[in-house]
Structure 1
Amino acid sequence: MIRAFKRLFVDHPKEVGETYVEHAGVATRMGWKLARLSACAFIHAVMPGAHKTTVSTSIKRMADDMGYRAEIAREARMKDAGAFDPGL
């Protein structure tokens, strides 16, 4: 039970160098941003001249940010597994 709690609420935020609260804030901001972008995409579907690049530009930026965060998480997992190479 404690392991499941730790896996669900502690491990992943720790992998990306955040506390639970910090990670919740980042995830919440991304969720709201995606909701806004969804609205922009629907508006664009009805009026093609509106939000011509809003969604694609924002998604590309978010993908870059997520890729960076995924790399940090991968390195943390490697270090925890004892496979960390400090590049000496």
Structure 2
Amino acid sequence: MLRTLNRLFADHPREVGETYLHHAAAASRFGLKLARLTACAFAHAMVPGVHKTTVSDEIKRMADDLGYRAQIARECRMRDAGAFDPGL
């Protein structure tokens, strides 16, 4: 039971070098941003003249941010595995 709880709540945040609360805050920010973008996309579907590039521009920014976070997570996993060499 403890291993399951650890796997569900602690393993992934630790993998990406965050605490549970920090990870929850970051994931919540992305979720709220996606909810707002959903509304913008539907508004654009109904009135094509509004939010012409809002959704695509923001998704590009989010992709850059997520790519950076993924790189940090890879480096953290490499360091934890003993394969991290900052000189590379």
Tell me the C-alpha RMSD between the 2 structures: 1.4
Offset at residue 24 of structure 1 (A): 0.6
Deviations 1:25-67 (A, max 9, x none): 1111110110110110011011111000100111011110000
Q: Per the alignment, in what secondary structure is the counterpart of residue 82 of structure 1? A: coil
* Runs of 4+ with deviation above 4 angstroms: none
Matches within 5 A, 1:4-19: 4-19=4-19
Number of residues of Structure 1 aligned to a counterpart in Structure 2:
88
Offset at residue 85 of structure 1 (A): 1.6
Q: TM-score, normalised by structure 1?
A: 0.89
Query: Does 1:78 pair with 2:78?
Result: yes
